[in-house]
Amino acid sequence: MKKQFGAAVKRSFDRALGYVLVAGLATGLVWGAGAAAAQENPQTAPPGQTPAAPAKPGLQKRPSQSSGQSAAQSSGQDSADTKKPEKRITPDEAKELFALVDQLMQFSSEETGLPVKSQVKRQLTSRAEVESYLKEKFDEDESAKRMQRGEIVLKKFGLLDHDFDLKPFLLDLLKEQIEAYYDSKTKTVNMLDWVDVEEQKPVLAHELTHALQDQHVDLEKWGDQTPDEVSTDYKDDIDHLSKDEMDTAREAVTEGQATAVMMDNILKPMGKSLIKDPEVVEYIKHQMVGTSDSPVMARAPLLLSESLLFPYREGLSFVQDVWMDKGQGQAFAGALDRPPSSTWEIINPREFEKAKIPMVPLMPDIHPLLDKVYKPYDIGQVGELDLHILTQLFGGESAARDLTPAWDGGIYWAGQRLSAKTPAEQASTKSISLFYLSAWKSNEAATAFAQLYAKSLGRKYSGLKKDVAAQRTLPAEAPSGTVEQVFTTDEGPVTITTRGKLVMVAESFDLPMARKLTQMVLDAQGTGDMRQARMIKPVLPGAPDRGMRTLSGGFVKLFAESGVMKAAVAPAVRLAAPSTPF
């Protein structure tokens, strides 16, 4: 949802999933894995020099169903794979790669119109060093800790199975998918000594585009502006919600631009380009799937696979459309200087071109009602990417195809019961209550989504029963036309209330509180065609963005910041094959 479903989740998964590059279309693999090492390790080669032995990545800030098989199974497969002899890049091949850096940097500059302001350092790193770095990252990095904390909210939403172990699965996924990465802290492009040279050449064009972006806007500040703190009062709620999807949208811009450059690097020797041959993009997007050599990706939950691919796939389409409509300057420097703020703009680039500002449903001050029972745990938008994942997971591709265009905004809040004291209690979804408000473009779409959501409850709760008696006691003050569904579950009541174009879901609150909360949130939206909402104001380059992240946002950010993913690169490599229809 670099963004996701849920603020804590958003921030947590924030770039972890960001650029798993399932085939080579990512912004800079491995979260900046070589930062500290690049500064301290003498094996880093200055521009133009031959590389020495691989340098150890340093610890830095930066670097899609059922939930699939268990992470334990994934680890077992990965362990078996690592026992096989692995081919390493030879010194001559490494020298060839290093010599390409300056050449590809110039190519990227010509493609993007972004000037080369300084040379980029380069180094090789080994699989063992990358894996060690990733483990350290997950054990110590604040972003990873937030991601793990947000895992419980994703399970409450039904986006991950309750028995899914996120951390080991993500580690295995990143180990499998990383192809290369640009470290924006040390200004170093890191190449992997076990990946074939021909596969790394297009990846270099991708990662060096990140270097140019970094020299233009300083990616460390530009792409990571979300606060660490959980929102605990009304003022912070509004601030977080108003900027919730910014990082996810920005990840899509940087990855989309880098992927476009990578593709043109492959296409131009064939006499083609993304602008002259726009149909190539649809071919590439359809090729961005797991391959036979990506068993972990093949069994990834829908949330993870879609979050991983989103910045490459939809980001590429976004850049291509703006490039064709407005020219190179607006597609590259323009999108960095005045970036989109939502996945809605990425998915609908013509709305971005019109400078339309996405609307966010209004969050009332819920704290007087809830804070005596709950500790605020997470808050965020449910953006268009999140909604697409949710509807596809609950109703399949047809439901996602029908409902996503009818979506008109969404927010959620999750709290943990103050009565949950022990670690075991706090780790259970039973300790979490959440509400989710979605807005739709028609009454019919709202009704369809409410029905779909109700049908999905059995996948995440046991003991599900419709409480017909409770439904007969709908509060008298509810406006005419209000439809309420009430269910009992092993984790408490669930209410789904439809009022016109709005759907309000409240899960695990006691029924009187759920009804008070529902009335408060729905009434806050006003009446008539235009509901009350808070507009997202554009943030100027370098300005602090204190927004949290959507449900998918954290993963998008995590993947994107980890480096370019194999899933994104593979289609590019296949594009150059003689059998390709282009």
Looking at residue 291, its pLDDT comes to: 56
List the one residue out of 129, 124, 130, 96 whose CA is nearest residue 193.
124
Residue 78 pLDDT greater than 50, yes or no = no
For the segment 367-401, what is each residue's pLDDT rounded down to a tens digit?
999 999 999 999 999 999 999 999 999 999 999 99
Segment 156-174 shows an average pLDDT of: 90
For the segment 547-566, what is each residue's pLDDT rounded down to a tens digit?
334 555 555 555 445 555 44
Beta strands in 371-440 (DSSP E): 374-381, 407-417, 432-440
Looking at residue 283, its pLDDT comes to: 83
Nearest-angstrom CA–CA distance, 299 and 294:
9
Higher pLDDT, 467 or 562: 467
Segment 71-98 shows an average pLDDT of: 64
For the segment 512-528, what is each residue's pLDDT rounded down to a tens digit?
999 999 999 999 998 65
Looking at residue 11, its pLDDT comes to: 34
Residue 429 pLDDT greater than 70, yes or no = yes
Looking at residue 554, its pLDDT comes to: 53
Nearest-angstrom CA–CA distance, 130 and 192:
9
Cβ 313 vs Cβ 285: under 8 Å: yes
For the segment 18-39, what is each residue's pLDDT rounded down to a tens digit?
333 323 333 332 223 333 333 3
Answer positive or negative: Cα dihedral of 226, 227, 230, 235: negative
Phi, psi of 149 (to 5 degrees): -65, -40
pLDDT band, very low/low/confident/very high, at 76 (cuts 50, 70, 90): very low
What b/e string do you get for 262-293 counting C-beta neighbours within 10 Å, with b at 16 or more? bbbbbbeeeebebeeeeebbeebbebbbbbee
Looking at residue 404, its pLDDT comes to: 96
Segment 175-203 shows an average pLDDT of: 84
Helix spans in 195-301 (H):
197-217, 219-222, 234-242, 246-267, 279-287, 295-298
Looking at residue 557, its pLDDT comes to: 52
Which tokens belong to 176? 């499998």
Burial of residue 99 (number of CB atoms within 10 Å: 0-12, 13-18, 19+): middle
Nearest-angstrom CA–CA distance, 195 and 291:
16
Nearest-angstrom CA–CA distance, 385 and 279:
23
**Residues of the chain above pLDDT 70, percent:** 73
Looking at residue 229, its pLDDT comes to: 74
Amino acid in the structure at residue 367: H
Which tokens belong to 182? 């640009």
pLDDT band, very low/low/confident/very high, at 477 (cuts 50, 70, 90): confident
Question: What is the number of alpha carbons within 13 Å of residue 283 lying toward its C-beta?
Answer: 16
In this structure, the number of other CB atoms found within 10 A of the CB of residue 577 comes to: 7
Residue 324 pLDDT greater than 90, yes or no = yes
Residue 298 pLDDT greater than 60, yes or no = yes
Looking at residue 14, its pLDDT comes to: 36
Lowest mean pLDDT among 16-25, 68-77, 523-532, 541-550: 16-25
Looking at residue 47, its pLDDT comes to: 45
Q: Secondary structure of 117-168 in the HEC alphabet?
A: CCCCEEEEECHHHHHHHHHHHHHHCHHHHHHHHHHHHHHHHCCCCCCCCHHH
Looking at residue 41, its pLDDT comes to: 38
